[in-house]
Structure 1
Amino acid sequence: MANTLKLEIVTPDRKVLSEDVEYVGAPGIMGEFGVLPKHVPFLSALGVGNLHYKQNGKAHYVFVAGGFAEVSNDQVTILAEVAEMATEIDTDRAQKAKERAEQRAAAAKEKVDAARNQAALKRAISRINCKSSGQNAGTC
């Protein structure tokens, strides 16, 4: 496959994905970035959000939170703190986490708690959106 690149997603616990793909879009810490075959090498810190990739013309989604992305020699390596395929996401659990974070936000008194809570809320919303994106694309 001449017009593909290797995508590997790894967490401290497991290898989440290792596939040849046509495109990768990921949530960088400073905004989303996209990678096509023959991309110049670079490193980026990852934020919280949904990584998406195209394989055989179909979009697939993976929730990621934190870590790093390395692009080099037609390979994208994602070293993520957390990564879940859209098919693995428990929507009910994510919805409950979102509700808890919203309740804590309403009661938060300290800035430290507010920042931590905001991160939890963003993770929950991103998981829900990832699951929805995967279902809407018909790939999950």
Structure 2
Amino acid sequence: MADATRVELEIVTPKGRALMAAVDEVTAPSVNGEFGVLPGHLPVLAALRTGIVTYRVGQDQKRCAIGAGFAEAGPLRMVILTDEYVEREGVDPVVVRKELSEVQASLAKLAAEASPGSQAKEEAKTLVGRENWLAAQLELYGDPPPATMRPLEEWGPPEPMADDDVPAEPPRS
């Protein structure tokens, strides 16, 4: 259990608890940017993007890669819920690079077909998510892939609903 000068960091995946450590500081990748948690942090709930979590115990800094998920932080504890987790020792860069090139080839093929159907969009969203996870693993390993720019509409929020265009009420006389 963490004392008042430490934060108890817990990372949980569907397979169970991946990490439990009393740390001095945690930095996590939220969808709005990186954020840090120190002992005494005000309570916060954040959506996380795929990326690198950095935590410090004394002078020892450690890193791990996580998939998208959620974090709940408070004065003495931070819990990260994610589908993916890996430490540097668990990354095989040859296998990850091979899978990354396969995913990128699938994305290129999907873009060339130019089928705007919802099934194609869902497949592209899944592939982009996988591409991000593989890129995070390579970044953790210290061998990041070249940056990839994808238009927001490939994986971003859906178009506004038609009800958003409701005409204003006519002025009263």
Residue of structure 2 in register with 1:32 after alignment: 34
Residue of structure 1 in register with 2:43 after alignment: 41
Question: In the TM superposition, what is the alpha-carbon distance from 1:75 to its structure 2 partner?
Answer: 0.4
Q: TM-score, normalised by structure 1?
A: 0.86
What stretches of structure 1 of length at least 5 have no aligned partner?
134-140
Distance 1:97 1:46 in 2: 23
Q: Which amino acid aligns with 1:11?
A: T
Q: Which runs of 4+ in 1 moved over 3 A?
A: none
Conserved in 2, the CA contact under 8 Å of 1:16 and 1:85? no
Distance 1:6 1:98 in 2: 34
Deviates further, 9-18 or 114-123? 114-123
Conserved in 1, the CA contact under 8 Å of 2:13 and 2:83? yes
Structure 1 residue corresponding to 2:78, chosen from 69, 73, 76: 76
Distance 1:39 1:72 in 2: 5
Conserved in 2, the CA contact under 8 Å of 1:3 and 1:22? yes
CA displacement, residues 67-99 of structure 1 (integer Å, 9 cap, x when unaligned): 210012310011111111222222222111211
RMSD of aligned Cα (Å):
1.7
CA displacement, residues 86-129 of structure 1 (integer Å, 9 cap, x when unaligned): 22222222111211112112211345133322222111111110
Q: Which amino acid aligns with 2:34?
A: E
Question: In the TM superposition, what is the alpha-carbon distance from 1:19 to its structure 2 partner?
Answer: 0.7
In the alignment, structure 1 residue 94 sits paired with structure 2 residue 96:
yes
Indicate the structure with greater strand content. Answer: 1
Q: TM-score, normalised by structure 2?
A: 0.70
Residue of structure 1 in register with 2:142 after alignment: 132
What stretches of structure 2 of length at least 5 have no aligned partner?
144-173
In the alignment, structure 1 residue 116 sits paired with structure 2 residue 118:
no
The number of residues matched between the two structures is 133
Q: Which amino acid aligns with 2:132?
A: K
In the alignment, structure 1 residue 17 sits paired with structure 2 residue 19:
yes
Q: Rg larger in 1 or in 2?
A: 2
